[in-house]
């Protein structure tokens, strides 16, 4: 079975693009251009190309332009007229950015596009949007995220882009973070597994993917001025661990350093973060690009490990323009450092295939891509409640569909990851219409999908703006389905309480009809005060450009729900680490510190440590089938520590369960009582049972030791438990581990 997390991009490239034999001429490289010889290792090719470059060419590779109209406003002191003309002629309008290549050496321009959910370009015709990354994390399926990445990376390549600014893997440390929908949950193993799948999928198209935002970019309030205060060891065993594992399992060509400071030093000029952790400890060979406007110096940033300034003029100065040229001339930035920056960029372009297979516009198979995002949405939705088996809808003759613009489409998140859909915004004119808006609904109507799936039922829609009218319709129907929405996005944080009168709407409808269910289209966790009074809840997240169809498929039972929560849903705001969000109410630009006193105890680890019971726990999700898992065996094998589990489908229809393995250190010493150390999604026919073997990565059993700068597994007894969620452990065995430095 191919473990897509570990698939090297070159192999994935061959698999995904079905390359035939490499032409002999290309294998030898054009005469005089040995770096074009594909048979040489990428590092060697990069060094050869570097050696052929002039200083001016090197400097042009480390300085990126944004695509906006600001290009024309850049002063001549920053770029000369020739470079400006080339930039204005080359950058793709509406795209994220552009960096000139070196045509005489066969090095392509870098055409950058956002982001993790698909090609974002408000100036182009629409593209296919995946469900949010938090949604596909809920699939617990790296093969699914590989397929999604392969699809959006193909759309990027065929739209002319060779750098995809994707791979958001910041842990969901703050449930109110407006960008949680772009990330992959609260647990390092899950976040890294699904993000590695996405990055490998994108890079299988012969283009470069990033992973981002490195690091501890955990809230949007004050993101460019806040300092994330956290002990190095705690960061290494939580947020940094997710990045470390993605780097190991997917080898992204680039890492995007984040806006914020970490322990008072900006991420993009943070030596400990970039040079020590990423490059020295994890062996990262690619290049660090800044976030757009995240650079604050020339010498400190260059010497701390930043390799490319992105998106000028988002920054206050062209730090990597003439200022860098002078810094290299006066020696404050060694020539060797500039050479290393360029070599890293060249390595990424060569290793991922962007040099050997230059991108070009091409025809996109929209139907095939629609099938990919539909499958992703179907397998990411989480059935949170289903009393009296209200779902799947069977025999209902009349159904009231209420609210959430469910007659026209499904919600998407705002900001730089927003993909504009083919067919346009299904609900135009919602506020804010400008950044971080527009508020977009993808034209995939749950109402239309349900009506075509249930031709004998009368499915009526009510906008939900008047709870009395909505309740009146619900009272006349067999079943009432209320759609609630929470718009979140980049550059702002949100409350967990639903906006407007949505809670009151649910209460009114539930009073009118006991067979009421709720579909949630949200960026992350929300509070559900009405939960005891509704019969079922489906967490649909932001479900992408086929989301309406996927919702109908789950509600009608055409698809068996198989998602599990990648984040904890709090029962109340009091359960949060920080009931009050730091930085709220401060003047723009006023710096502040967020003290992450929970350390590595993020999400369910915090709830375990404090003995709290959430509304819904990490790893939780229902199915239309029932499963058992047992006979847990832990064995030391040559391949490493493995767990064997028998999973069984005791229900009457095919479905998927997620085998979750948690571990605890009996002697303590970890950040929290337990950690997820392995998982696997398993599809089983009715009555089928299967032995599942999980390999446990030793890094997940280790603690990073600040005194040695290495990971260590401490000798002793450890408990390994199967779980249906972080709050429901079903079987536990003890197993000793020897002392081990990693
Ligand atoms: C943004 C985001 C980043 C994005 C970049 C380019 O501000 O933080 O995720 O890739 O700028 O749009």
**Could you write out the DSSP letters of every residue in 137-193?**
HTTT-HHHHHHHHHHHHHHHHHTT-SEE---B-----STT-TTGGGS--S-HHHHHH
Which run of H or of E encompasses 734?
strand 728-737
Phi and psi at residue 470, to the nearest 5°: -65, -40
Q: Is the CB of 114 under 6 A from ligand 1?
A: yes
Q: Is the CB of 416 under 6 A from ligand 1?
A: yes
Answer for the pair 701, 600: CB distance below 8 angstroms, yes or no: no
Query: Which atom belonging to ligand 1 lies closest to the Cα atom of 293?
Result: 7
Answer for the pair 139, 230: CB distance below 8 angstroms, yes or no: no
Predicted confidence at residue 21, as pLDDT, reads 47
Q: Is the CB of 182 under 6 A from ligand 1?
A: no
Place of tokens 């995007």: 256
What pTM did the predictor assign? 0.96
Which run of H or of E encompasses 711?
strand 710-713
Radius of gyration of the chain, Cα coordinates, nearest whole angstrom: 25
In angstroms, what is the span from residue 230 Cα to ligand 1's centroid? 24
d(CA 92, CA 401) in angstroms, rounded, equals 42
Predicted confidence at residue 159, as pLDDT, reads 98
In angstroms, what is the span from residue 420 Cα to ligand 1's centroid? 16
d(CA 645, CA 638) in angstroms, rounded, equals 18
Q: Which two tokens stand for residue 229?
A: 């205060």
| pLDDT under 70: residue ranges of the chain | 1-30
Answer for the pair 490, 416: CB distance below 8 angstroms, yes or no: yes
User: Which of 517, 524, 474 lies closest to 498, judged by CA?
Assistant: 524
d(CA 394, CA 101) in angstroms, rounded, equals 59
In angstroms, what is the span from residue 256 Cα to ligand 1's centroid? 9
Protein residue with its CA nearest to atom 3 in ligand 1: 291
Which homologous superfamily is 623-741 in? Immunoglobulins (2.60.40.10)
Under 8 Å CB-to-CB from 12, ≥6 apart: which residues? Answer: 4, 200, 201, 203, 204
Bridge partner residues of 262 (DSSP): 228, 265
d(CA 609, CA 601) in angstroms, rounded, equals 8
Dihedral angle computed from the Cα positions of residues 236, 237, 243 and 249, in that order, rounded to the nearest 10 degrees = 120
516-521 vs 536-539, strand pairing mode = parallel
In angstroms, what is the span from residue 280 Cα to ligand 1's centroid? 26
d(CA 183, CA 621) in angstroms, rounded, equals 19
Whether the bond into 436 is cis, omega within 30 of 0: yes
Pocket test for ligand 1, best of 67, 111, 113, 115 (most atoms within 8 A of CB): 115
Q: Is the CB of 212 under 6 A from ligand 1?
A: yes
Bridge partner residues of 690 (DSSP): 647
Strands (E), 448-512: 458-462, 479-485
Q: Is the CB of 164 under 6 A from ligand 1?
A: no
Predicted confidence at residue 3, as pLDDT, reads 53
Whole-Å CA distances, 687 to 295, 648, 655: 57, 7, 11
In angstroms, what is the span from residue 292 Cα to ligand 1's centroid? 6
The yes/no answer on whether domain 4-15+25-351 falls in CATH 1.10.10.10 is no
Q: Is the CB of 418 under 6 A from ligand 1?
A: no
Whether the bond into 486 is cis, omega within 30 of 0: no
In angstroms, what is the span from residue 212 Cα to ligand 1's centroid? 9
Predicted confidence at residue 530, as pLDDT, reads 98
In angstroms, what is the span from residue 406 Cα to ligand 1's centroid? 30
The Cα angle at residue 636 between residues 631 and 642, in degrees rounded to 5:
50
Pocket test for ligand 1, best of 98, 223, 292 (most atoms within 8 A of CB): 292
Pocket test for ligand 1, best of 257, 260, 291 (most atoms within 8 A of CB): 291
Q: Which two tokens stand for residue 473?
A: 């319709």
Fold topology of 381-559: Rossmann fold (3.40.50)
Which run of H or of E encompasses 411?
strand 410-411
Protein residue with its CA nearest to atom 9 in ligand 1: 416
In angstroms, what is the span from residue 364 Cα to ligand 1's centroid? 25
Place of tokens 């323009």: 321
Q: What are the residue boundaries of the structural domains of the chain, listed by start?
A: 4-15+25-351, 381-559, 623-741
């Amino acid at each position: 079975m191919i473990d897509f997390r570990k698939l090297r991009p070159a192999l994935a490239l061959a698999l995904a693009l079905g390359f035939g034999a490499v032409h002999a001429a290309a294998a030898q490289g054009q005469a005089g251009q040995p770096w074009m010889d594909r048979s040489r290792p990428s590092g060697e090719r990069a060094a050869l190309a570097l050696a052929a470059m002039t200083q001016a060419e090197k400097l042009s590779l480390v300085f990126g332009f944004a695509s906006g109209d600001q290009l024309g406003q850049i002063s001549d002191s920053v770029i000369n007229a020739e470079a400006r003309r080339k930039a204005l002629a080359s950058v793709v309008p509406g795209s994220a950015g552009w960096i000139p290549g070196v045509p005489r050496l066969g090095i392509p321009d870098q055409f950058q596009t956002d982001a993790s959910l698909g090609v974002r370009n408000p100036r182009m015709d629409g593209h296919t949007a995946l469900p949010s990354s938090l949604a596909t994390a809920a699939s617990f399926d790296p093969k699914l995220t590989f397929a999604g990445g392969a699809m959006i990376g193909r759309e990027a390549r065929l739209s002319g882009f060779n750098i995809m600014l994707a791979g958001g893997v910041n842990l969901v440390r703050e449930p109110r973070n407006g960008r949680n929908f772009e990330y992959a949950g609260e647990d390092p193993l899950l976040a890294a597994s699904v993000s590695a799948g996405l990055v490998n999928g994108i890079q299988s198209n012969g283009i470069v993917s990033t992973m981002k935002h490195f690091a501890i970019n955990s809230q949007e309030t004050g993101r460019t001025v806040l300092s994330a205060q956290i002990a190095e060891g705690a960061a290494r065993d939580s947020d940094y661990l997710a990045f470390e594992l993605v780097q190991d399992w997917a080898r992204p060509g680039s890492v995007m350093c984040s806006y914020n400071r970490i322990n008072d030093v900006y991420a993009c000029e943070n030596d400990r973060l970039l040079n020590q952790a990423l490059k020295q400890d994890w062996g990262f060979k690619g290049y660090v690009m800044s976030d757009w406007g995240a650079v604050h110096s020339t010498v400190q940033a260059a010497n701390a490990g930043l390799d490319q300034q992105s998106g000028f003029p988002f920054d206050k100065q062209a730090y990597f323009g003439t200022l860098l040229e002078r810094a290299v001339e006066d020696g404050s930035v060694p020539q060797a450092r500039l050479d290393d920056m360029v070599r890293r960029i060249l390595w990424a372009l060569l290793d991922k295939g962007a040099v050997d297979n230059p991108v070009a516009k091409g025809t996109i198979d929209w139907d095939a891509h629609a099938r990919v995002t539909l499958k992703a949405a179907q397998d990411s939705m989480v059935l949170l409640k289903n009393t009296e088996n209200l779902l799947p809808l069977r025999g209902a003759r009349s159904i009231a569909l209420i609210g959430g613009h469910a007659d026209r489409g499904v919600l998407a998140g705002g900001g730089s990851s927003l993909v504009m859909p083919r067919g346009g915004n299904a609900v135009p004119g919602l506020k804010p219409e400008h950044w971080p808006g527009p508020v977009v609904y993808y034209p995939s109507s749950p109402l239309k999908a349900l009506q075509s799936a249930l031709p004998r039922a009368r499915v009526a829609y009510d906008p939900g703006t008047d709870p009395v009218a909505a309740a009146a319709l619900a009272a006349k129907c067999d079943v009432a389905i209320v759609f609630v929405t929470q718009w979140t996005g980049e550059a702002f944080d949100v409350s967990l309480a639903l906006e407007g009168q949505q809670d009151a709407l649910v209460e009114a409808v539930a009073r009118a009809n006991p067979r009421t269910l709720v579909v949630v289209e949200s960026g992350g966790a929300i509070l559900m005060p009405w939960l005891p009074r509704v019969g079922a809840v489906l967490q649909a997240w932001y479900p992408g450009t086929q989301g309406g169809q996927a919702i109908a498929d789950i509600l009608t039972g055409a698809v068996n729900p198989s998602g599990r929560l990648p984040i904890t849903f709090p029962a109340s705001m009091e359960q949060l680490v920080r009931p009050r969000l730091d930085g709220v109410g401060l003047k723009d630009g006023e710096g502040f510190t967020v003290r992450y006193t929970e350390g590595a105890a993020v999400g369910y680890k915090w709830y375990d440590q404090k003995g709290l019971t959430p509304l819904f726990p990490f790893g939780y999700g229902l199915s239309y089938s029932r499963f058992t898992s047992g006979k847990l065996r832990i064995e030391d094998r040559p391949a490493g520590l493995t767990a064997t589990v028998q999973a069984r489908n005791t229900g009457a229809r095919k479905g998927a369960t997620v085998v979750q393995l948690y571990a605890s250190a009996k002697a303590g010493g970890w950040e929290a009582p337990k950690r997820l150390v392995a998982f696997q999604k398993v599809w089983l026919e009715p009555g089928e049972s299967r032995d599942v073997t999980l390999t446990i990565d030793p890094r997940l059993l280790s603690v990073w030791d600040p005194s040695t700068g290495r990971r260590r597994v401490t000798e002793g007894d450890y408990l390994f438990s199967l779980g249906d969620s972080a709050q429901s452990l079903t079987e536990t065995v003890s197993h000793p581990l020897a002392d081990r430095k990693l």
